[in-house]
Amino acid sequence: MRVHDSTRKSKTFFERSMGMGMTTMDISRRGFLTGLGKAAMVGTGTLLLKPRPADADGTSWWQTLSQSQRNQEIVNRAWQEIGKYYSPPDGECKEWARAVVKYASVKHVNLPSNSPAPNDWYWQYDPSGHTSGQCMYIAYAGAGQIVQMKYSSNGRPHTAIVVANNGSRITFIASNDPYGSYTVSQREWTFADFHSKMSAYAVYTIR
C-alpha cells in the first residue's frame, strides 16, 4: 500500500509531522497508520439552505458541534454542490474544497494551502488547529474528511471530500474532476484502485 513517495521522503515527513499539526499513531514501515477504527459511513446528507451560526462568523456555533456533526455539515454542503460549474480559480479542486468548508463552518475554518511541490500532497502547517492530518490507509477515511492526494501518472495534486465509505469502496466529491472540467462531480473508488492511481496522500479532519 503506497501512501507516500519513498522511505526517505516519508521519514522526513513524519519527522516534521508534529510541527504540521499531524498525528503519528503506530506508524508502520509501510507508511500508514494502523490500529484506527473504521469510520462510519455517512450517506447523502440533508441539503443546507441557510447557515445556523450563533454569531457573525459562526465561531460559537461551530464549536458547539461534535466532530461527527462537523463532518456531516461538510458532507451536506458537498452533496449540494454536485453538477455546479465554477470558472477558475474557484473551480480548482482545492479552492472549491476551501469554499465548502468555509460555508459549512460559517467562515470559521479556512483550509491551509498545499505545501510546495513535490510535497503538494499535504497541507502547510495550520496554526489555528482547525485541520488535523494523518497518513493512514484510505479504507479508514470517513465521510466529512478531506483527502489531499497526488496522482502517480502525472504528479498532479488533487483535493477531494470523502462523502461515503462502505467498507470496500470510498466515494469522493470534488471539483475539476476530470481535470479541466471545473465542475463538481462524484467519484467512487475501490481501495485497491485508489492506491494504484495515487503515489501519495494525506487525510484531514476539519475541527
The cell for 6 is: 519513498
pLDDT of residue 53: 60
- pTM of the prediction? 0.76
> What is the distance between the alpha carbons of residues 171 and 173, in angstroms, rounded to a whole number?
7
Confidence category of residue 171, pLDDT binned at 50, 70, 90 = very high
SS3 8: helix
The residue type at 158: H
Q: Is the pLDDT of residue 7 over 80?
A: no
Which tens digits make up the pLDDT trace of 115-131? 999 999 999 999 999 99
Which tens digits make up the pLDDT trace of 46-71? 334 345 665 666 778 898 899 999 99
Which tens digits make up the pLDDT trace of 40-52? 333 333 334 345 6
Just give the CATH number of 7-206.
Answer: 3.90.1720
- DSSP symbols for 73-132: HHHHHHHHTTT-B--TTTTSHHHHHHHHHHHHTTTS--PPPBPSTTSTTSBPP-TT--EE
pLDDT of residue 56: 62
What ranges do the domains of the chain cover? 7-206
The cell for 159 is: 483535493
